[in-house]
Structure 1
Amino acid sequence: MRFRTVASAVLVAAGAVVPCMAVGQAQAQEPWCGASWLGLTVEPVGQSSGSQRTASIVLTNLSRESCVLQGFPGVDLAAVGDNGRAALPRTNEQGQPVLLPPGGQAKSTLTYATGTDTPTEIIVTPPDSTTQLHAVWPTALGSIMVWPEGATHPGTYIGPLRG
């Protein structure tokens, strides 16, 4: 069961104000954002500390109606790791529902350690979906260190979606 309350927020993207709604306790009737409703972009954010950097995984509602997302996107990197594809671990943070009006965005923070691997593509599976969205790995993000699966303190990981 998904609980939803609409509380207004504002998101500024490329100089334009696009509303984004935080969703909480009461129920709303907005549909879940299907992968076919979403666009994917990857944006550099900055250097956190030393060799650790951050980027935003941005899901934009391309449909003509509002929809809801909650949780973590599945994030894989192509052309890296032992198998040529690496699935990124998630943080322990809790994701909150996010209401996306048409054009609204939800962002997930990708924290990564710089390294020797340069992905060719980032593959994102929105929450509660099996359909994947693809984007070219931005050259501005540089190289990445992919930690072995099951590493106790990976330097590369993904956070929950936020409005």
Structure 2
Amino acid sequence: MRTGNAVGRTMVAAGALVAAVSTGIVPAAISSAGLPACAASQFDLRIQKPKVDDPQRPHQFDVVLSNRGGACTTKGFPGVDLTGPNDPTHGATYSLPRQSVSAQPLTIQPKHAVTAILTYQPGNWVPTTLVVTPPDTTTQLRVPWPAGVGVTRQDGATHPGTYIGPLFPL
């Protein structure tokens, strides 16, 4: 009965579209064609309080990009640098590697946000600033790093415990 299958697929697709539109984040595959790529200038950057489930394990917090401009599309990982005091071996900037997962294309409606999870190993180096470059841009956004939160520098590590994840709907 082909009609039943087609109706079922249509209902599932319609339900996904309604759910996506209600959140303001639409997977690009079902978004309106022709939307511009998101520009760094249309984002406000903020970070949420670090999540500490187990002090012996890596900690995490959300890096949030809120769209204060028009609808736009993006995909990928933000570039993330931590800046702080000069480390005698590695310098004052720690460029975080990206998590080894794939990213999904997203359409971000005005006044909605996306987030990327920053995972870090606690340590003695205390950054002062979080510098974020949204995907496919070169403009950097900056916010103060949480006071007193130290990380372990792992510049060049093959399996670092500090990294940034891909953007996903908030």
TM class by shorter chain equals 0.7 to 0.9
Number of paired residues? 150
CA RMSD, Structure 1 to Structure 2 (Å): 2.3
> TM-score with structure 2 length normalisation?
0.79
Q: Distance between the aligned counterparts of 2:167 and 2:67, measured in 1?
A: 13
- Give the SS at the match of 1:111: strand
Deviation track 1:92-145 (CA, whole Å, cap 9, x = no partner) reads 111111111111111001000100011100000011111100111123x71111
Candidates 69, 77, 83, aligned match of 1:78: 83
Q: CA deviation at 1:47?
A: 2.1
- Give the SS at the match of 1:55: strand
Identity, % of aligned pairs?
35
The correspondence of residues 25-64 of structure 1 with structure 2, limited to 5 A, is 28-49=33-54, 50-63=56-69
Q: Does the CA-based 8 Å contact 2:52-2:59 persist in structure 1?
A: yes
Q: CA, structure 1 residues 111+79, in 2 after alignment: closer, same or farther (shift >3 Å)? A: same
Amino acid paired to 1:154: P
- Give the SS at the match of 1:71: coil
Q: Does the CA-based 8 Å contact 1:20-1:101 persist in structure 2?
A: yes
Please name the residue that 1:22 is paired with: 27
Structure 2 gap segments, 5+ residues each: 1-15
Q: Distance between the aligned counterparts of 2:18 and 2:126, measured in 1?
A: 39
Amino acid paired to 1:121: T
Amino acid paired to 1:59: L
> TM-score with structure 1 length normalisation?
0.82
- Give the SS at the match of 1:146: coil
Please name the residue that 1:14 is paired with: none
Q: Distance between the aligned counterparts of 1:127 and 1:159, measured in 2?
A: 12
Q: CA deviation at 1:42?
A: 0.9
Amino acid paired to 2:153: V
Which structure has the larger Rg? 2
Please name the residue that 2:5 is paired with: none
- Give the SS at the match of 1:46: coil
Structure 1 gap segments, 5+ residues each: 1-5, 12-16
Q: Does the CA-based 8 Å contact 2:20-2:27 persist in structure 1?
A: no
Deviation track 1:5-48 (CA, whole Å, cap 9, x = no partner) reads x945469xxxxx85322322676221111011111001125125
More helix by share: 2
Q: Does the CA-based 8 Å contact 2:31-2:107 persist in structure 1?
A: no
